[in-house]
Amino acid sequence: MLTATLLLTPAELVVTTFAFVTLFGDAWFLVVGLALGYWIGPRSDETTRPAAATGIAIATLALAVVLAAKSYTAIPRPTAMPIDPAGLPGTLAGFVAGELDSGGFSFPSGHATGATAVYGSLGLLLTVGRRRWRHLVAGGAIGLISLSRLVLGVHYPRDVLAGMALGAGLVAGGLWVVRDGDRWRVDRGFLLAGVAAVVGVVVAWQGGHAEELRHGMIGVGTAVGGGGVWHQYGERLISAPAVSVPIVTGGLGVAGGLWIGAYEGLFGLFGAAVASAVGVTIILGLPMVESWAQKRT
């Protein structure tokens, strides 16, 4: 890897670096990171689980709103690539080419919106470490991920700025809905996300955007499954123990497989909604499985 890096031109090195940076704003990375924090976080701080659950709800809301906006505006992405990825060595060529893909719609930036929504909400909700450092880390992540979309040439500046503003608004609105005094009404956040996802489905259907329609159905399923689980078991989930590594591994494998299948279109439209609902049910419900397993031993 070091040898390959030394062979890159300055432009190739910058683009390749930001291709890795942008991964931290990918939907899959945000969901996996939030899930791991939700499962393991209580080992360090009791507020980590409800904060991570809130992050999942706000992430679902952000992706649903972005879906609706992109389907409505249907603005193409920029087509000019900053570099030719074919000139990169080894496996870097395929990886960077994938990150430079200009398919789909441009406005607003989903990465900027999702990063602002997720990292912003975690920076405000978590109590681990000093507040100043949490805010700095969250702000740095949001800034770098948003910048990466411009460096990679897959968004216009207006897309990124709109995404950051939209994400900030969703954080403010989402936290206002979820926090009820000392209670965590995460189910309300999922309800709000569900409404946004239904709007996205309607807009995508009217525009004839098949991929966006499938993603909207995934949002609907995630909102229904997540809201139902938290409404029924929220208080028990907050007090449930941290999840052990074997159960985390199994849960991540099953839930991840369901979501990958849904995004790849393996289950059809309604199947995508069902698969995502089951996936988020597994994520949120796994602490109860751990509690049951501990009682059995």
**What CA–CA distance (Å, rounded) separates 10 from 130?**
36
Phi, psi of 76 (to 5 degrees): -65, 155
Residue 196, both tokens: 């946004």
- Bridge partners, 180 (sequence order): 183
Answer yes or no: is pLDDT of 246 > 60: yes
The token pair at 213 is 């329609």
Q: Is 76 helix (H, G, I), strand (E, B) or coil?
A: strand
Residue 221 contacts residue 275 (beta carbons within 8 Å): yes
Answer whether the bond into residue 42 is a cis peptide, omega within 30°: no
pLDDT higher than threshold 70 for residue 6: no
Residue 26, SS3?
A: coil
Give the pLDDT confidence of 198-238 residue by residue, as tens digits: 999 999 999 888 888 999 999 999 999 999 999 999 888 98
Across the range 116-141, mean pLDDT stands at 90
- Its domain, for residue 240, covers 2-296
* Separation of alpha carbons 207 and 141, rounded Å: 33
What is the pLDDT at residue 144? 96
Q: How many CA atoms lie within 13 A of 144 on its CB side?
A: 18
- Average pLDDT over the chain, rounded to an integer: 89
Q: Which residues of 135-172 are buried (b: 16+ CB within 10 A; e: fewer)?
A: eeebeebbebbbebbbbbbbbbeebbebbbebbeebbe
- Rounded Cα distance between 97 and 197, Å, is 30
Indicate the DSSP class of residue 184: E
The predicted structure's pLDDT at residue 183? 82
* Number of structural domains found in the chain: 1
> Whole-model pTM?
0.90
Q: What is the percentage of the chain residues whose pLDDT exceeds 70? A: 97
